[in-house]
Amino acid sequence: MHVFIAGANGKIGRHLLQEMADSDHEARAMIRDPDQGPELQQLGATETVLGDLEQDCSEAMRGCGAVIFTAGSGPHTGPEKTVDVDQDGAIRLVDTARAMGIKRFILVSSMGAGEPEKGPEKLRHYLQAKHNADEHLKASGLNYTIVRPGQLTNDNGTGKVTMTAGAEEFGKIPRQDVARVLLAVLDSDNTANRVFGVVSGDTPVAEALTKL
Ligand SMILES: NC(=O)c1ccc[n+]([C@@H]2O[C@H](COP(=O)([O-])OP(=O)(O)OC[C@H]3O[C@@H](n4cnc5c(N)ncnc54)[C@H](OP(=O)(O)O)[C@@H]3O)[C@@H](O)[C@H]2O)c1
């Protein structure tokens, strides 16, 4: 299946491309800068397409069977970009996927996005934006999975995690392990229409998914 990846040039996105290189899926990496193309293809992208989440991405998505959204405005932009990218960019992509008949949508959200008002004050705006995107996806009618990682690190992944489907558990997780989770979710039927948190733990990713 061709999988459209928003945020492919990001830190999780790059790990995901590497994980996907050995999978049965073809990664279509959306990038904003054509110079990023060759490196992402070397990492594992089957193809790259130009696009921007603040604009219409329908042509870039054509022919894909699933979407993975792992984009984000990052910590170095103002609060308005969090709304433009993490919230409205995700919402626009959900609506475009639905309009184009792309039924599977995997969204990287954040630990704490379930109850933004309970998060630390400095994170509340970000968590609310994530929450709003999550709620839009849940109501979209698409086959969704919302993955809420804890604090991301650049440590090597261990392949072992703790997943929580209900109450949110706080902790850390290497980006490489989040990428492994995203790929495993793609191939796992029991993640349809599910929301779960994930942090580092003791359970192999595939096993953790079967226990959700
Ligand atoms: N930091 C944490 O502890 C934490 C915790 C939980 C969840 N998360 C979430 O995890 C996700 C990914 O994290 P990460 O560390 O991999 O992020 P990252 O390295 O900052 O990558 C973000 C990606 O989003 C892309 N992007 C930004 N604006 C865009 C736009 N308008 N159109 C298209 N692409 C755009 C960037 O593109 P360029 O490469 O072109 O700039 C980049 O590739 C985010 O959704 C973040 O909110 C983070």
Tens-binned pLDDT, residue by residue, of the chain (212 aa): 999 999 999 999 999 999 999 999 999 999 999 999 999 999 999 999 999 999 999 999 999 999 999 999 988 899 999 999 999 999 999 999 999 999 999 999 999 999 999 999 999 999 999 999 999 999 999 999 999 999 999 999 999 999 999 767 789 999 999 999 999 999 998 999 999 999 999 999 999 999 99
Residue of the nearest CA to atom 13 in ligand 1? 12
* Of the candidates 19, 23, 21, 49, the residue with the CA atom closest to the CA atom of residue 37: 49
Given this model, what pLDDT does residue 170 score?
83
Say how many Å lie between the CA of residue 159 and the centre of ligand 1.
21
The residue annotated as part of the active site, out of 69, 105, 126, 144, is 126
pTM listed for this prediction: 0.98
Given this model, what pLDDT does residue 66 score?
98
* Range(s) of the domain holding residue 49: 2-210
- Residue 126 annotated in active site: yes
Count the domains in the chain. 1
Cα gap 133→105, rounded to integer Å: 12
Given this model, what pLDDT does residue 167 score?
65
CATH number, domain at 58?
3.40.50.720
The dihedral formed by the CA atoms of 23, 26, 32 and 33, expressed in degrees to the nearest 10: 80
Given this model, what pLDDT does residue 110 score?
97
